Structure formats: C-alpha cells, structure tokens
Amino acid sequence: MQTEVLEHPIYLDYAATTPVDERVLDAMLPCFRTAFGNAASLHRMGRAAAEAVERAREQVSDLVGCFSRDVIWTSGATEANNLAIKGFVRSAGRRSPHIVSQRIEHKAVLDPLDSLRREGVDVTLLEVDANGQIDPSVVEKAIRPETVLVTLMAANNELGTLTPLREIGAICGKAGIAIHTDASQAAGKIPINARELGLTLMSVSGHKLYGPKGIGALIFRREAGTKILTPIIDGGGHERGMRSGTLNVPAIVGLGVACEIAVSEMTEDAERVRGLRDDFESTLLAEIPDTFVNGVDSPRLPNISNMSFVGVDAESLLLALDGIAASTGSACTAASIEPSHVLKALGLPVPRQKSSVRFSFGKPTTLKEVRRALEMIIPTVHSLRRLADEAFI
C-alpha cells in the first residue's frame, strides 16, 4: 500500500496545541526586546510591565467571567490544576478531606489526585456513561460531609464532550462545596462564565486558544470560597502569595490578547468549525462501514471528532496517513500501547477503543484541507482492512 506524503501535513490536531495567532505574536514581541522590564520592579519599565500584566488579567477575566483580581498566572493548565486541587484541599483545614472527580479527567487532574490520595486524602472517581457524560445526580449523591472539593473538566480533551457544569455548580453551591473545572479545552471555544456557572476555580491554558505555550491561569473566585490557596511554589510571594516566581510578561501579554480575540471571534469561529467537523464525520460514516463517532450523543465542543474505524489499528492508520497530523487516544508506555483511559471508562468494545483516532479542527482549517483529508483517510482505511483480512487467509 502506497501512501501520499505531503510537503505540508494537513493539521487536524488543534486539541493538542494551536499556532500562535499573528496578532498575539505582534503584541508579545516588544516584551522581549524593548518593553522587557520586570513587573516587580518599581522603575518606569517595571511599572509598564506591571500595567501590561494587569491589562492581561482584565482580558482573561472578560473571557471567563470573573474579576481581574481572581486571575493567578501559572505556567499552564497543569500547574493551574495542581494549584487548584492541592492548594485548595491543603488550605481547607479538614483532617480527613474528601474530593469528588470522574474517571475521564485529564492526567493533569488525575495525577494530582493520586498524589493527594497518597497523603491520606479520600478521592472518589465517578463513572460516566457510554457517551462520556456524568449525571449531576450522581455527583450530588457522592458529596459527603467531609467533601471539600468537586473537580470536573469543562470539556473532555479526547471526546469533546461537555460536562453539565451549571447543574453541578448549583448542587455544589447548595451544599457549600467548592467546584473546580479544567477549562483548557473549552475556554475560547465555547462561552464559559465562572460566575454564572457557580465555579470556585477554573484552569485555563494559553496554547489551546492560539496563545503561547508555557502560560496559563488559575481563576480563583475568592468570594465563592476561602480567601487563600496554600501555594505549591514558594519563593517571593508573587501573585498575592499564591504563586511565586518572576512573571512571564511576554507570555502573559500573549494570553491576554488571545483571550481578547476569542471574546470577539469565538461564536463565528465555532459555527464555521462545527460545519467542517460535521461534514467530515458524515462523509466518513457514509463511506466507511463500521465507523463510529465516540461521544456523538452528548453535547460536544465544535472542533473535536473522536472516531473509531473498527478493524483498523489506530497507530497504524496514523502512520499510513503521514500527510495528516492527528492523534490517537492512546497512552504509550515503554512496555505496551494501551487504549486511552477515557475510552475504557466509556465501556466501549475493545475493537472500538483500539481503532480510535481524534481529529480536531481549528481557526486555520479550510474546507479544502478537510476534503483532501477525506480523500486520504477513506482509501487508507479500506486498504488497511483488506491487508488485515488477507493476513488471516
């Protein structure tokens, strides 16, 4: 089987990372060369940097629905998740605290929970249905007197499925329980308002919404919870004592501008990308038998399509599609390649787990690229299935 190698691969992996918007880059460049002051310095250049940082806080807060003072800068969503979960639980003052989460969370949440479990914190991981949805009533039943935090992602990174945060936020508010969401996939793709959803904490990532890598933010609505987080990084008391370290002003400015752009362009972008995604899925379903869209019966982000091509190994398919950049749902280890924990949690048949590929679309994706990708995927899947059948003859 011959495969076509394109000089410039068709990028369908925007859920993994996005290119930096030219307008974001333009805003960042002066911070490297001329306006490079330390935001903690009292001289003119330091004050200018501090003003740029505060402007970025306002831009982030406008996107996610909080006060600018609620924005804490981090190195990304992973650090924000760690600070939210570890920092909040350690500041709660409970002798035997309890946390509620779900099995399909990103490892940036599951691993901090495992770390706290080793410290003696009780963690409950809830099951989801076959479409990656969690029932709010299940969350309500899991809350106990010693529960201090519920942490549930806004949108799943593999499926794009949305968590019913409004209903769960109301449940947590009624019970007096703090709620955190990892919004790294959702922010900038769909409207998400921390205040309206009743969220206490929210994690945001720059490189998921056309900003730079290495920057993120934790939204901590202090009027909705305690007044301080126990820091996980010490060394100078920056960010009101909650996250020490010299501020990454260029990246902070970039994240701010990326959020500002998302506020004005998100609705139009989502409508266009959803159309591309839906056409992509419907064509594959029509042209390739035994093909499934995972999570299709749940509310989803407009840009993610997780598809199973039964009878085709996902890694083999991506290797054959050298001209397309996409992802499997697999986590690779030194010894083996196992299906994603998300697909396992859905209870999908093993053949669907092993044949799952995530395609994700973005602002630069064109109709021409989608059609070209379809022209490559359809015959490649058929060819791989024929080869698999011949191997058993």
Catalytic machinery residues: 332
> What is the CA 244 to chain-centroid distance, rounded?
24
**CA nearest 247: which of 88, 31, 43, 18?**
31
**CA nearest 158: which of 316, 374, 37, 326?**
326
Q: How many C-alpha atoms does 375 have within 13 Å on its Cβ side?
A: 10
Cβ proximity of 333 and 347 under 8 Å? no
Nearest-angstrom CA–CA distance, 182 and 105: 9
Instruction: Give the H/E segment covering residue 217.
Output: strand 216-220
Nearest-angstrom CA–CA distance, 224 and 213: 29
In sequence order, the 6+-apart residues with CB closer than 8 A to the CB of 328 are: 314, 315, 318, 340, 356, 357, 358
Cβ proximity of 312 and 328 under 8 Å? no
**CA nearest 81: which of 187, 194, 165, 203?**
203
Question: Would you state the structure tokens that stand for residue 266, as one six-digit string?
Answer: 């998100």
Nearest-angstrom CA–CA distance, 46 and 25: 21
Nearest-angstrom CA–CA distance, 83 and 232: 6
- Residue 252 backbone phi and psi in degrees, to 5: -60, -45
